[in-house]
Amino acid sequence: MTNGKVTARQKILAAAAEAARDVGPAHLSLDAVAQRAGVSKGGLLYHFPNKAKLLEALVEYHLNVFDQALCEKDKELQGRPSSLLAAYLELFMADLDQCQPPPSGILAAMAENPGLLAPVKQFNRTLLDRMKVGAESESAALVIFLALEGMRSLRLFDVDVLTPEEQQKVLASLAKIAAAKA
């Protein structure tokens, strides 16, 4: 956001994320995104000259939104042991409570061009390193990261087999791990 106003680029990215979620990554089209964003196709192409560039920006958009939320939650929890781990867990639980499918931008990018996942891999590596540094226990950081990313992957690929009760048991166990001293 710039001065509280949504830019055309931000409107396009939000529309692309919605379209990918609604119609699926295979059916994401520049025309549909432009229409949903309320811009001309030429306006969309000004910001994103092709679908690959739009998908690349969509992946970066999702990572930035998540990182911003994570930093805000971490600041809110400062003073707690392993605050970044707790923030990561709380954001995951909030996302799960919304009962929405996970952002499809990453899935759309993977379907279109697996190379676009390089920023996700780098982001996850950096996030894990940050969590390990701030954690009471490196093992706890590893277990929580792997469990949540595993649950996220199950949802992303629509192969989740856990019942809501089982999910809650896993999350409660992870919260205990996050709160435990090394």
Does residue 104 sit in helix, strand or coil? coil
Q: Per the structure block, which two tokens stand in for 137?
A: 């226990």
pLDDT tens digits for range 95-151:
887 766 555 556 666 766 788 788 889 999 999 999 999 898 999 999 999 999 999
Q: How far is it, in rounded angstroms, from Cα 25 to Cα 76?
A: 35
Q: Using 50, 70 and 90 to split pLDDT, how confident is the model at 1? A: very low
- What pLDDT shows up at residue 145? 96
The larger pLDDT score, comparing residue 112 to residue 73, is at 73
CA end-to-end span of the chain, whole Å? 40
Q: Which residue has the tokens 């001065």?
A: 3
23 phi and psi angles, rounded to 5 deg: -105, -10
Does residue 5 sit in helix, strand or coil? strand
Q: What does DSSP assign to residue 135?
A: S
Q: Per the structure block, which two tokens stand in for 165?
A: 């009760």
